[in-house]
Amino acid sequence: MVSDREDPAVRSVNTGRYLEAKQPATGDSDVMEVPQHRGSGVHRRTKRSASYSSTDEEYTIEVLVAVDNKMQRYHGNALKSYVLTLMSIVSSVYADASIGNSIKIAVSHIMYIHHDLAAQNKSRESGWKGVSATHMLQDFCRLKQTTNFHHDAALILTREQICREPATNNCETLGLAELGTICRPTACAIVQDNGLSASFTIAHELGHVLGMPHDDDTRCQRFRGNPVLDDRIMSRTIDHNTHPWQWSSCSRHILTEYLE
């Protein structure tokens, strides 16, 4: 383990803020399957209100938010404020009663990555539009494990064009995450920054980290009523029928089972 001062390529800001309150990722899949694991390491405390009926626990998810060098160049001095604004929207999404659980999102640190994390994944062949989302996510997951920043999940925001299959120019993906990995070393997600709508992608990808599949996944069939009304935050794609501020009954049930 090294501190941020021991690695000149990384520095962090402890925000000291608990944010209380999707454009969901497009493409065929933004989920990397790993063995299932219960989220028992998430900070929890006794719930003080009866607004949520599915559980008597209140959960705080501490998120390490990393920003790459392209994010720093693009947003400049406004970057910290911008990141906190995104995460405040994410927190509001997780505060919606449709989730059925009392979830608080807290930014534990903002981590600045000064070297080009995507360099080794860029355009190894002519014609590639962007970088491999899978490889960049894996590289970030390895990098954050060399720091001592406490967190339950880690997120990297990038201005790179991330691609599920860069060799075939399959670059419709806005985010990627490992499924059901909260509080594990692989509890990582990557999101492409495209403005404030990136907050909904963040909420979507953190949902995967918390074990939620897509709303049209086979595991959700038993919960689906009206297919249009059930396309919510964990919808595979977004269109005029999607409700990106609310959670589907499937997300609610699977999250509750995952946390129990």
Q: Encode pLDDT of 94-113 as tens digits.
A: 999 999 999 999 999 999 99
How far is Cα 43 from Cα 66, in angstroms, rounded to an integer?
21
- Would you list the domain boundaries of the chain? 10-259
CA dist 136 and 71 (Å) reads 15
Mean pLDDT, rounded, of the chain: 79
Q: What is the pLDDT of residues 188-239, one digit of tens each?
A: 999 999 999 999 999 999 999 999 999 989 999 888 766 555 678 999 876 6
Q: Compute the distance between CA of residue 162 and CA of residue 147 in angstroms, rounded to an integer.
A: 24
pLDDT band of 5, cuts 50, 70, 90: very low
What distance in Å separates the CA atoms of residue 120 and residue 76, rounded to the nearest whole number? 24
Share of the chain above pLDDT 90, in %: 56
Q: Name the residue among 177, 208, 203, 210 with its Cα closest to residue 41.
A: 210
214 annotated ligand binder: yes
| Sequence-ordered list of residues with C-beta below 8 angstroms from that of 168, at least 6 positions apart, any chain | none
Was 208 annotated as part of a binding site?
A: yes
Q: Is 150 annotated as a binding residue?
A: no
Within 10 angstroms of residue 26's Cβ, the number of other Cβ atoms is: 17
Percent of the residues in the chain that have a pLDDT greater than 70, as a whole number: 71
E-assigned strand segments in the chain: 10-13, 17-19, 31-32, 43-46, 57-67, 102-113, 131-132, 153-158, 162-163, 175-178, 188-192
Residues facing residue 189 across a β-bridge: 155, 177
Query: Which pLDDT value is given to residue 56?
Result: 64
| Ramachandran class of 100: left when φ > 0, alpha when ψ lies in -120 to 50, beta otherwise | left
Phi-psi category of residue 132: left, alpha or beta, with phi > 0 → left and psi -120 to 50 → alpha: beta
* Integer Cα distance of 77 and 62 in angstroms: 24
What is the architecture of the domain spanning 10-259? 3-Layer(aba) Sandwich (3.40)
Q: Which residues are marked as active site?
A: 205
Give residue 31's pLDDT. 54
